[in-house]
Homo-oligomer: A and B are copies of this chain.
Amino acid sequence: MSPLRSWFIIPRGSHFSLANIPFGIISTESSKTPRVAVAIGDHALDLEVFAANNGFSALSTIQPHQDVFSQPSLNAFAVLGRPVHSIVRKYLQSVLAEDTPYPDVLKTNSTLRRQALIPLKDVKTHLPFKIGDYTDFYAGLNHAYNVGVLFRGPSNALQPNYKHLPVGYHGRASSVVVSGTPIRRPNGQILSNPLAEKKVPTLSACQKLDIELELGAFVCKPNSMGEPVPISEAEESLFGVVLMNDWSARDIQAWEYVPLGPFNAKNFGTTISAWVVLADALEPFKTKGLENDSKVLPYLQERDENTVYDIQLQVSLKTKTGNSTTITKTSSRNLLWSFPQMLTHHSITGCPFNVGDLLGSGTISGLEQSERGSLLEQNENGKTSIKLSGSEVRHFLEDGDEITITGVCGSDEEALVGFGECVGRIEPALKL
């Protein structure tokens, strides 16, 4: 299939081709109230302005709901449901297409083009959803195995439950921030001498600050308490996907996590990319996840065998000196569980979901050293060092380090479906 072409200039290699149309929240210097937009090429299309100027006049479905584009989050748009998201995306594609059946809407309407199409460099992006609850899973099999080997050795690397259910834990919704937000190195209790028999913690700035390369998925359909989401309906409950960096304080985690799991090690910041790629846009890039050699219980069995996305993921680390090194390249197909499986398992107890709830995939690592999605795995818990370009090395993150995750689907430079960037820079800890 030849790619959709636009009358609008979309640079070759743009993550935001006409095949994509991701949604986000923007504001500008001249109009500071956050509102809904889509990204197209190097521009944002301001949907509040677009709607106010009859941009949706040909789309009767959305007309009674146009106020959703004036909201400071995508929650109200998401509530409308996947069939509506799909119609809106297709309509915007057709408005932007070279041979648009609606030339008057934007193509020949230079006034609205000037008002509604804003260079991305001139927009500030905001957290796309008001997040009710955030859950982080652990579905990256290779990551779970690598970490298991570090702490329990290869024969007990994976816990007995790992291949039967998507292991997860409740995260901290309040600390999820949009790409670009600085991350302050956390203080916390750590053991300066973990091997000492008497465990005496100190309060210290985190010495083992790490990243976790993940995907996040937003929920667009609520379920009532006591009513699980069947696997056959889970797909319809998922709005779209973002890149995620689940910053982790490994030394705080090691001391605190027994017996109730990660807590302060994870609640000082989780960064997500600004543009949410709709599930529809990712549909062509579905593929098989990792093989599960355990028999999965029927409530988690999916009809289709292609259940995870093949997103080419990359992590780069830029130091204070300006040196940038790609430290990880992998694919999001390295997951044992799909987002529908996570949602179905999470709700099997009757746990209620609200629109805007966020599911994290867990750290994604491939099999090779260069495919590992956390520094902990790359440096074997601090034993080896990670070589950066130039003569710099890293064990864990230093102040001033900037981490950028990118993710993109497809190979046709004119039809990429990408996520843009998920960026965060480490600021020094508060002085104690």
Q: Footprint of B on A, CB under 8 Å?
A: 132-133, 138, 159-161, 164-165, 167-175, 177, 181, 184, 186-189, 199, 201-203, 225-228, 249, 252, 255-265, 267-269, 297-299, 345-346, 348-354, 357, 427, 430, 432
Contact = CB atoms under 8 A, between A and B. Distances in A.
A264 B170 contact: no
Contacts of A262: 260-261
A45 to B, nearest CB: 30
A228 B175 CA distance: 13
A187 B267 CA distance: 29
Given A259-B159, A297-B201, A349 B168 contact: no
A268 B349 contact: yes
B260 A351 contact: no
Given A187-B228, A297-B203, A260 B167 contact: yes
Contacts of A268: 225-226, 349-351
A165 B267 contact: no
Contact of A252 (B188, B228, B349): B349
Contacts of A171: 170
Contacts of A188: 348-349
Given A164-B201, A168-B260, A350-B186, A173 B173 contact: yes
Nearest to A148: B259
29 contacts: A132-B173, A133-B172, A160-B199, A164-B199, A168-B263, A169-B169, A169-B170, A169-B261, A170-B172, A172-B351, A173-B173, A174-B225, A175-B351, A181-B225, A184-B226, A184-B350, A186-B349, A186-B350, A188-B348, A188-B349, A201-B297, A226-B430, A227-B430, A257-B261, A260-B262, A261-B261, A261-B262, A267-B351, A268-B349
B263 A170 contact: yes
Instruction: Name the prevailing secondary structure of the A interface residues.
Output: loop
Given A164-B201, A227-B430, 16 more contacts: A138-B260, A164-B189, A165-B189, A165-B256, A169-B261, A170-B170, A174-B354, A184-B225, A184-B226, A203-B298, A225-B269, A228-B430, A257-B259, A263-B346, A265-B349, A268-B349
A262 B175 CA distance: 20
A179 to B, nearest CB: 15
Contact of A169 (B133, B260, B351, B354): B260
Nearest to A189: B165
Contacts of A249: 349
A172 B173 CA distance: 10
Among A181, A351, A427, the most chain B Cβ lie within 10 Å of the Cβ of: A351
A352 B189 contact: no
A189 B297 contact: yes
A175 B259 CA distance: 22
A199 B353 CA distance: 30
Contacts of A265: 349
Among A161, A349, A357, the most chain B Cβ lie within 10 Å of the Cβ of: A349
A224 to B, nearest CB: 10
B348 A187 contact: yes
Among A258, A259, A346, A352, the most chain B Cβ lie within 10 Å of the Cβ of: A259
B264 A348 contact: yes
Contact of A174 (B159, B259, B269, B353): B353
A265 B260 CA distance: 12
A354 to B, nearest CB: 6
Contacts of A357: 174
Contacts of A267: 170, 346, 349, 351
A174 B261 contact: no
Nearest to A164: B201
A234 to B, nearest CB: 15
A168 B259 CA distance: 9
Nearest to A259: B159
